[in-house]
């Protein structure tokens, strides 16, 4: 990447399909135990992220390239990971500032967008209960109210979670509970 030289690679996607690509490698990023290659894919004409462990073969090419001066491979990777399809799409309005939300919400978890009313958090997940817990945790960590924008089922799951928490927190400690009545 220091040489800014195009590469050819044979890549195996998550589903096992293989493809050949010519890529201008803009950066190599280590994230949560994996290495990722970020660069311009000449087959699609788009910026792409490739997991290095899925590269089956690699060869340098003669073509040189100029990496854009303002390109940040870490920022591109985290945005890309936040957009990886995971089942359901979720959206909530956090009633806080963008700076505070960014401080508490990792970029790879969700995309954040500042609005006049606060910050819209957009993410995806495959477990409604886990997303409800995460959203409540974010609200508690940031110290802000939030409004679920979509899907409506997420509001219902947060209500169920709140009911469970109220029931759990309203019980007296075991030493103060009445003894079970025996026959």
Where along the chain do the CATH 3.30.70 domains lie? 84-168
Q: What is the pLDDT of residue 1?
A: 53
Over range 2-12, report the average pLDDT: 91
Over range 64-78, report the average pLDDT: 91
**How confident is the prediction for the chain on average, in pLDDT?**
88
Is pLDDT at 173 greater than 60 in this prediction?
yes
Q: What is the pLDDT of residue 66?
A: 93
Is pLDDT at 89 greater than 70 in this prediction?
yes
150-172: per-residue pLDDT in tens?
Answer: 999 999 999 999 988 888 887 77
Where along the chain do the CATH 2.30.30 domains lie? 5-79
Identify the CATH assignment for 84-168 out of 1.20.1250, 1.10.3470, 3.40.50, 3.30.70: 3.30.70
| CATH of the domain spanning 5-79 | 2.30.30
Distance CA 95, CA 149 (A): 13
Please enumerate in sequence order all residues whose Cβ is within 8 A of that of 50, keeping only pairs 6 or more positions apart, or say none: 9, 11, 21, 23, 36, 37, 38, 39
pTM of the model: 0.55
Q: What is the pLDDT of residue 86?
A: 65
């Amino acid at each position: 990447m220091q040489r800014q030289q195009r590469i050819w690679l044979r890549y195996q996607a998550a589903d096992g399909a293989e493809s050949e690509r010519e890529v201008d490698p803009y950066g190599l990023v280590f994230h949560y135990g994996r290495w990722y290659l970020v660069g311009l894919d000449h087959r699609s004409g788009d910026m792409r992220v490739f997991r290095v462990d899925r590269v089956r073969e690699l060869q340098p090419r003669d073509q040189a390239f100029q990496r854009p001066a303002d390109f940040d491979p870490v920022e591109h990777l985290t945005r890309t990971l936040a957009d990886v399809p995971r089942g359901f799409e979720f959206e909530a309005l956090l009633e806080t500032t963008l700076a505070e939300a960014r401080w508490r919400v990792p970029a790879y978890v969700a995309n954040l967008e500042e609005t006049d009313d606060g910050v819209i958090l957009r993410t995806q997940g495959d477990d409604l209960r886990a997303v409800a817990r995460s959203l409540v945790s974010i609200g508690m960590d940031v110290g802000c109210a939030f409004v679920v924008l979509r899907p409506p089922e997420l509001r219902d799951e947060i209500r169920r979670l709140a009911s469970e928490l109220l029931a759990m927190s309203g019980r007296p400690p075991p030493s103060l509970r009445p003894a079970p009545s025996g026959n």
